[in-house]
Structure 1
């Protein structure tokens, strides 16, 4: 039965947004390698996922202008983030609550017309980086940095996060990471978003559902665990001994294997390249070298391949992103795919209502409480 293995290989819907066929990932018909090798911008990819075709120059300029005009968040939303910036709160819980709050402050949140849904989509997409950068800085006791409308999506986020304009290599690295994480067929959070959308609720509820799903450690959070592992190995000083101890005690090594891919994760090689370029000749090169050692050991002893989370941990760390918010960066990218799936579900909707297979007892006799 499908439920015994998490509905593995069960088809739940038709989609034109993304596909995984023979270990190849495509967005609306474009293989991920086609987009990466031609340096497609994240903004182009968002447009592609939402419209199922790449934009012309005029279309892209209009789309980018719309996003940039909506970067800023209100003082009320910033105050809400400040209240939630205490260390003990889970960053994904803060993101979940803040996105939900955006729906409270949008007076058109209950309007599900095509025009209103598009406006809400732009607002959600544009404000995610500002919410995340604001939270990250407030959590560290730093003053939030206002977004700059003259900077693209990736550059603006790094500027707001670190307080200085990023280098071209840094922008390229984050742009590639965002493109690679933008969508991934019917993963858990995307499926949750589509189920929610099928009830004809508002887009904020759908994205909040997706964030709550991504928060779970079996879906998001793997790259955070990868960097924790890198840090521990650096402290211990011996990769082989560390990994052998973990494997002998039946602990999972994060960043390896995938539910869908069998021979390779097509996204991993691009993040490996960016990790190498970002660290080459710097003191951060130790993280890349450790990653290579771990990859070699896992391949030789377990035959396991690294997935998208493995090298993204080093990329994010070198970009000045604290490991505690790695999953927020995942969400900042994946919201583009969530929105695409929400819109697709709404256009040809049917309530998603599967059945369960009952395996409990039957025909029990009621015994009055005095005789139990």
Structure 2
């Protein structure tokens, strides 16, 4: 079969090849190396997790008045201080919290919030203003800022453990790579047609149908798959993880970190948090999946002496309304909490005051911390890049690391 026919038959010309994310992000795999040796793990809770039923204000009467049937009972709360406690489904995190490896930042949001899942997620992933529309993500711009003047090769600086790439991971010049299963990626690139094209020295068709660009992409994919597979297989994770897909994603991140993969940023997601109806059961189930997996991950990294070099940040695109709806759920809200984990936290525990439930903005929490101040802290103090280069304006940041 001619290469031109192969491209057309496999839909490679449109960027889709078995696992479409391989080819779209890998166009920028030849990026320069970054300074520093710290790992950032970003966890996205998709759907708008209800922060008030996650980190529960169990001593606030307004909370129980507004949520007569879905409030977490005081007897089911795991106290963290005299005002807030963990949802009982997050019980696995209490040990992590007590050991000083967890920080909770309350009332995080942004001015003029948007309650659309898609728009608010875009805002969080691009770090834009609410009226600003950006086409590249904040981690993507971090890659751009660090790699544009560096010619050394380090093509695995950011990895999303999934088969698609989030907007957060796409820069104007550089992109991350999506890899859910390193062996599957490796096997895909060893298919006969793929392998023959990569090893072919005949350039007869390289300018035909943009094949030169695609040929380069395939070469980068081929070598990247080899590196990720052969590096990650040198380490076998011995820690016990729950048998959930989300836990398996974090187990894969642990394998990458402990094998010495030259990656700085990892991105994973857990969906199912859009709780308009019957919230307690649905959210409780997802929180348990989250808490059990994160606790296993943190303990794993502690055991392998990698926790001091790792920072984990959990966010959701918005919180929920303070008052429950008529369907025993909550509707889209605004400000929310962010959970941070790591072995080198300067301020573990509850970072700031509990959400103010008495002074609301049209029924919603008022944000007290701009989410970009959280990002600025991570950029400046963990990833060692001036946050203004990434966020397009300077943010003061916080003091949790």
User: Which of the five TM-score ranges fits, normalised by the shorter chain?
Assistant: under 0.3
When normalised by structure 1's length, the TM-score is: 0.25
When normalised by structure 2's length, the TM-score is: 0.23
Question: Of Structure 1 and Structure 2, which has the larger fraction of its residues in helix?
Answer: 1
Question: Of Structure 1 and Structure 2, which has the larger fraction of its residues in strand?
Answer: 2
Of structures 1 and 2, the one scoring higher in RCO (CA 8 A, sep 6+) is: 2
